[in-house]
């Protein structure tokens, strides 16, 4: 009995988050069978981790067109397009229903541990492109399995690998030993246990993006409520300048602009103080067991009780070690995409919509999509991911004209200024620097909190 041809094999999609599920919907629309592998117990496991955080995008920008078509026969009702959902809203009102509509095309509790060409490690050239892929997985009960696939879309994101405190990209000295006092997530201060952790205490917030704004604003609200002694120390690798707090009223994402203004208000009201030009080298303990941050230049900050590290994320490439990827040496993003999103050099405006051409690798029919495609670049927009998977699905279906056609117009953000990735301490104050708008080149999902008037679901 002959083996099935590659065209009859499924396309494996890694991750049942917003982009992975949208990819599955586009594949179904194209008559291609997807198989979505999700490590967690439900759809959008990573999104649920920040369920308390409100997005910068409205519902109108968060629902993929192909996904909506798939949901229509189920009686699904689209939420009010002008409102801003939380991560929990997004998961429960859209992503889980979408996964349910896909049915047994989605497998939960399935962790991908490796991807390779059948019978070929990354060294072997002979017959490589004719071989299907083998996707190695481990199920929740420990059972191991190999799945054969015609193509692989990795939409696993970067949420599982937060960047450390260390300014050199590695954990600071003492960071690991202080792990019980360090968090790498925006805290949910509505949770009584989390609130108790930070109430009446001094907390260092490390980072300069929207996540840090969210944490600063939340801690300021806690300080204003009833908690004497609650104070945030904002650790910045650059100085404070006109662009430090984002685009404000010029930002075409009003919720994000409002968030930056709330962070600014927290500093001006004295609920947060800033340590600028501070590149962390070590985390030490004082005689009372409190944490002391030490900079590369030898500066030591006053002790803090807790540290919140919000310095971005990076992709887990370990299970792709036998696949030939073409990645930029800085961002770990596809080589053709990296110049569009590199915060070292990207100027103000918006990243160009892109698709299969920018996402292709030396290994044919493997694509990193969604946030993972951006590697270490700091920001991402859901609509960008939806356009990516529309293009990739069209290419896999043999419709190259549709794959190369742009079907998305992205908003400009009106955010300018900054010093690129290096964060020269003087650049922000002088208005000069190597790059422009690290958060402006693209837009971020999942780490914003609009002002109360920003709208809710």
pLDDT digits (tens, 9 = 90+) for 6-63: 678 999 999 999 999 999 999 999 999 999 999 999 999 999 999 999 898 899 999 9
Give 94-147 as a 3 state SS string. HHHHHHHHHHHHEECCEEEEEEEECCECCCCCCCHHHCCEEEEEEECCCCEEEE
Measured CA to CA in angstroms, residue 60 lies from 47, 64, 383 at distances of: 18, 9, 10
Dihedrals φ, ψ of 258, to 5°? -65, -35
**In this model, does residue 360 exceed pLDDT 50?**
yes
Any idea which of 97-106, 145-154, 258-267, 395-404 has the lowest mean pLDDT? 258-267
Q: What three-state secondary structure class fits 273?
A: strand
Confidence of residue 248 (pLDDT cuts 50, 70, 90): low
Lookup: tokens for 128: 């490589």
Higher-scoring residue by pLDDT: 249, 235: 235
Structure tokens at 331: 């961002």
Cα→Cα distances 416→187, 208, 220, 432, 438, Å: 28, 14, 26, 11, 9
Q: Is the pLDDT of residue 329 over 80?
A: yes
Q: Is the pLDDT of residue 237 over 50?
A: yes
Return the H-helix or E-strand segment holding 196.
helix 192-198
pTM equals 0.86
pLDDT over 90 percentage in the chain: 69
In whole angstroms, what separates CA 74 from the centre of its chain?
30
pLDDT grade for 437, boundaries at 50, 70 and 90: very low
pLDDT band for position 265 (cuts 50, 70, 90): confident
- Mean pLDDT to the nearest integer, 388-400: 97
C-beta separation of 224 from 208 below 8 A: no
Contact 213, 53 (CB under 8 A): no
Distance CA 232, CA 267 (A): 9
Beta bridge partners of 274: 234
Listed residue (420, 373, 52, 399) closest to 238, CA to CA: 420
Separation of CA 443 from chain center? 10
pLDDT band at 188 (very low <50, low <70, confident <90, very high): very high
The DSSP secondary-structure symbol of 187 reads -
Expressed in angstroms, the distance from the first to the final Cα of the chain is 55
Distance of alpha carbon 175 from alpha carbon 161, whole angstroms: 15
- Give me the pLDDT at residue 424, please: 46
Other C-beta atoms lying within 10 Å of the C-beta of residue 104: 6
Q: What does the pLDDT average to over 410-421?
A: 41
Nearest Cα to 338, choosing from 305, 320, 361, 313? 361
What are the structure tokens assigned to 453, written together? 């008037």
Residue 269 has a pLDDT of: 83
Burial letters 108-136, b for 16+ CB under 10 A, else e = bebbbebbbbeebeeeeeeebeebbbbbb
pLDDT at residue 422 is higher than 50: no
Structure tokens at 309: 């590290």
DSSP state at residue 300: B
pLDDT (tens digit, 9 = 90+) per residue, 269-305? Answer: 888 898 999 999 999 999 999 999 999 999 999 999 9
The whole-angstrom separation of Cα 159 and Cα 40 is 13
Mean residue pLDDT across the chain: 85
222 phi and psi angles, rounded to 5 deg: -65, -40
- pLDDT band at residue 266 using 50, 70 and 90 as cut-offs: confident
Taking each helix axis from N to C terminus, what angle separates 18-29 and 382-396, rounded to the nearest 10 degrees? 30
Percent of the chain topping pLDDT 70: 82
Whether the CA torsion 102, 61, 53, 215 is positive or negative: it is positive
């Amino acid at each position: 009995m002959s083996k099935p041809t590659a065209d009859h094999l499924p396309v494996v999609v890694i991750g049942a988050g917003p982009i992975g599920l949208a990819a599955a919907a586009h594949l179904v629309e194209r008559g291609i069978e997807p198989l979505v592998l999700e490590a967690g117990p439900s759809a959008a496991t990573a999104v649920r981790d920040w369920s308390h955080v409100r997005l910068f995008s409205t519902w109108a920008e968060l629902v993929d067109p192909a996904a909506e078509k798939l949901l229509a026969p189920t009686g699904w009702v689209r939420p009010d397009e002008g409102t801003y959902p939380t991560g929990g809203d997004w998961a429960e009102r859209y992503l889980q229903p979408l996964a349910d509509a896909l049915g047994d095309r989605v497998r939960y509790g399935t962790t991908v541990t490796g991807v390779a060409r059948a019978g070929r490690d990354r060294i072997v050239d002979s017959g490589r492109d004719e071989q299907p892929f083998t996707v190695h997985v481990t199920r929740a009960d420990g059972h191991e399995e190999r799945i054969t696939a015609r193509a692989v879309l990795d939409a696993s994101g970067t949420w599982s690998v937060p960047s450390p405190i260390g300014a050199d990209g590695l954990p600071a000295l003492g960071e690991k030993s202080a792990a019980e006092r360090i968090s790498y997530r925006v805290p949910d201060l509505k949770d009584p246990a989390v609130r108790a952790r930070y109430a009446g205490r001094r907390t260092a917030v490390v980072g300069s993006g929207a996540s840090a704004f969210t944490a600063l604003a939340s801690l300021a609200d806690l300080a204003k409520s009833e908690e004497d002694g609650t104070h945030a120390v904002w650790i910045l690798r650059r100085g404070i300048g006109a662009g430090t707090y984002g685009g404000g009223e010029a930002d075409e994402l009003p919720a994000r602009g409002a968030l930056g203004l709330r962070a600014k208000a927290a500093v001006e009201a004295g609920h947060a103080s800033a340590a600028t030009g501070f590149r962390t080298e070590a985390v030490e303990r004082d005689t009372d067991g409190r944490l002391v941050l030490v900079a590369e230049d030898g500066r030591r900050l006053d002790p803090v009780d807790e540290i919140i590290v919000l310095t971005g994320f990076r992709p887990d490439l370990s299970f792709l070690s036998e696949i030939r990827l073409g990645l930029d040496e800085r961002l770990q993003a596809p080589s053709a995409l990296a110049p569009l999103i590199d915060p070292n050099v990207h100027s103000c405006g918006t990243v160009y919509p892109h698709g299969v051409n920018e996402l292709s690798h030396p290994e044919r029919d493997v694509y990193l999509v969604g946030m993972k495609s951006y590697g270490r670049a700091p920001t991402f927009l859901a609509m960008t991911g939806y356009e990516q998977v529309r293009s990739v699905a069209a290419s896999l279906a043999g419709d190259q004209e549709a794959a190369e056609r742009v079907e998305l117009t992205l908003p400009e953000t009106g955010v300018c200024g900054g010093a690129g990735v290096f964060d020269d301490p003087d650049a922000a104050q002088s208005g000069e620097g190597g790059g422009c708008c690290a958060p402006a080149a693209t837009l971020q999902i999942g780490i914003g909190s609009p002002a109360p008037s920003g709208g809710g679901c």
